Structure 1
Amino acid sequence: MSHDAHLLALAGTFLLVLLTLGLWFAYVLGVRAQRRRRKAWHCWRLISFSFGCGLLVLALSPPMVEWGHADLRGHMAQHLLLGMFAPIALMLGAPGTLLLRSVPVVTARRLTDIAGSPLGRCMSHPVTALLLDIGGLYVLYLTPLYQLSFNQPLLHVWLQLHFVLAGYLFSWSIAGPDPAPHRPGMWLRLGVLFVAIAAHAVLGKLMYAYGFPRDSAHDLAQIEAAAQLMYYGGDLAELLLALVFFAAWYRRRTESNALGWQTANRRT
């Protein structure tokens, strides 16, 4: 990447940092508004969202950006933070629920209608999220797109944004706490999660065995180390998402059983 292109990429990355800080500030204001109205909002959700924003800022910090430009291992560390760990933390903060509580009722209904529209349901389906998230990684690393991103700063910044958005969409479609009346059943979501785990592992093996991304400036040792980082780091993130999924399922099951017992006691 030329010097001018590198500066442009840094400027775009700085804008992403500002956007992250702006979203965090808006989230904090939303939480304060809820508490002023004496509406419950768990403190751990604020902590989780703040942690997710912190991971984004870390991944977009100058040292990480420089490492990612010079070393594929640094790039892969950025990918894991931007596309896997940070989205899970952000998702657990339930920003969608907070948004619906914070905006006027008319606006909340419009947003709900958009989410429930055929296009909204298609985009939020776990299979669509899988294709955008894991499928995007296959396109990035198995085609010349990775090397092209080093010569096109706007493409480079867009890929960073895509990591976050696709990772968040996938995490939310599997285990999001926000209301989703048209969300598929648990078995389909669990199946998609297992497919994602397998597809992520296969991509790591392809990179390790065949030296993808090819025609890059990285030597084989860097590529193999980055592939191992993707393989094991991805497993850790997906295990965390699976734990969140089963924890949410167990909580709903417990609440449903408790409600059933209360109904039975009232009848007797």
Structure 2
Amino acid sequence: MILPLTAHEPAPLAGVAALALAYAALAARPGPRRWSRWRTASFVTGCALLALALAVPIGTGFPAHMAQHLLIGMLAPTALVLGAPMTLVLRSLPPPYARRVTAVLRRGPVRVLGHPVTALLLSTGGMAALYCTPLYRLSQTGMLPHHLLHLHFLLAGYLFAWSVAGPDPAPRRPSVPFRLVVLGVAVAVHAGLAQLMYAGLLVDVPAPPGELRAAAELMYYGGDLAELLLALALVTTWRPVKQPELTKSELVN
């Protein structure tokens, strides 16, 4: 049975506030190089988007859920990732501890988890499972499954944004063209699922047709916006390898 969840709990909001304050405190610490204000602004923006999503009262309709999904799973993670929090933590740690953290990031499980294809499967696969199986109904039966759903959105979205365009250290990150292809697949999956939802096909969501269509439009256009921002973040870091110019003798030969 789906319970009428109509309120939010303050604990997640307090956690977001604590996260923003901790980041700001580390960024303000004196050091040989001043921490980027742009990075700080990006991370704080991500926290603000996350807080906005969590402040939306639960049970206000399926379009509101979709707006939360976009904020928690796509827009907020992109802004958080571009804040480079791991780099900030590493530079704030004593060198021995920073080396230990870096060593953990190079281990096999992290390589698998941080690969763009793995992140793609966790992000888009989880979304398809949510809307095409009874999982969405289950998430509406209590506060715990609802918060677990939000946690999955956030972690999967953060992992995907980090694996595609994150400035933080990553183990053996694939080439930029490869990551652009992965991002293109994510765009196609989101668009396809939004179209199915708009038509009311293959989705298991107990919502009126009008709400389904409104949520589908949010997913379609809002998802495009989030992925466009991620693509821009990726291409701005692309430094194509320049081929050496041929000499006259090489051209003749």
TM-score, length-normalised on structure 1? Answer: 0.85
> Aligned pair 1:99/2:89, yes or no?
yes
> Aligned pair 1:39/2:25, yes or no?
no
Q: Is the 8 A contact 1:30 1:98 kept in 2?
A: yes
The amino acid of 1:50's aligned partner reads V
Aligned counterpart for 1:24 among listed residues 20, 41, 44: 20
Aligned to 2:248: none
Aligned counterpart for 1:50 among listed residues 37, 44, 48: 44
Q: CA deviation at 1:16?
A: 1.7
Distance change (3 Å), C-alpha of 1:215 and 1:48: closer
CA RMSD, Structure 1 to Structure 2 (Å): 1.9
Aligned counterpart for 2:110 among listed residues 88, 104, 120: 120
Within-5 A mapping of 1:92-241 = 92-211=82-201, 213-214=203-204, 216=206, 218-241=207-230
Q: Tell me, in whole angstroms, the C-alpha distance in 2 between the residues paired with 1:210 and 1:170.
A: 28
Distance change (3 Å), C-alpha of 1:222 and 1:174: same
Q: CA deviation at 1:20?
A: 1.1
Q: CA deviation at 1:65?
A: 2.5
Partner of 1:214: helix, strand, or coil?
coil
Q: Is the 8 A contact 2:200 2:209 kept in 1?
A: no
Aligned to 1:89: 79
> Aligned pair 1:243/2:239, yes or no?
no
Aligned to 2:249: none
Q: Tell me, in whole angstroms, the C-alpha distance in 1 between the residues paired with 2:125 and 2:97.
A: 33
Q: Judge which range, 105-114 or 94-103, deviates more.
A: 105-114
The amino acid of 1:124's aligned partner reads G
Aligned to 1:10: 8
Q: Is the 8 A contact 2:176 2:235 kept in 1?
A: no
Any idea what the Cα deviations from partners look like across 1:202-251, whole Å, max 9, x if unmatched? Answer: 111111123564351x21111011111101110111111111111111xx
The percent identity for this pair of structures is 49
More helix by share: 1
Distance change (3 Å), C-alpha of 1:215 and 1:165: closer
TM-score, length-normalised on structure 2? Answer: 0.90
Partner of 1:242: helix, strand, or coil?
helix
The amino acid of 2:25's aligned partner reads L
Q: Is the 8 A contact 1:73 1:225 kept in 2?
A: yes
Q: CA deviation at 1:104?
A: 2.1
Distance change (3 Å), C-alpha of 1:163 and 1:215: closer
Any idea what the Cα deviations from partners look like across 1:135-169, whole Å, max 9, x if unmatched? Answer: 11000000000011111321110111111111111
Distance change (3 Å), C-alpha of 1:136 and 1:162: same
Q: CA deviation at 1:111?
A: 1.4
Unaligned runs of 5+ in 1: 261-268
Distance change (3 Å), C-alpha of 1:212 and 1:15: farther
The amino acid of 2:45's aligned partner reads F
Aligned to 2:57: 65
The amino acid of 2:117's aligned partner reads V
Unaligned runs of 5+ in 2: 245-253
Q: Tell me, in whole angstroms, the C-alpha distance in 2 between the residues paired with 1:105 and 1:215.
A: 50
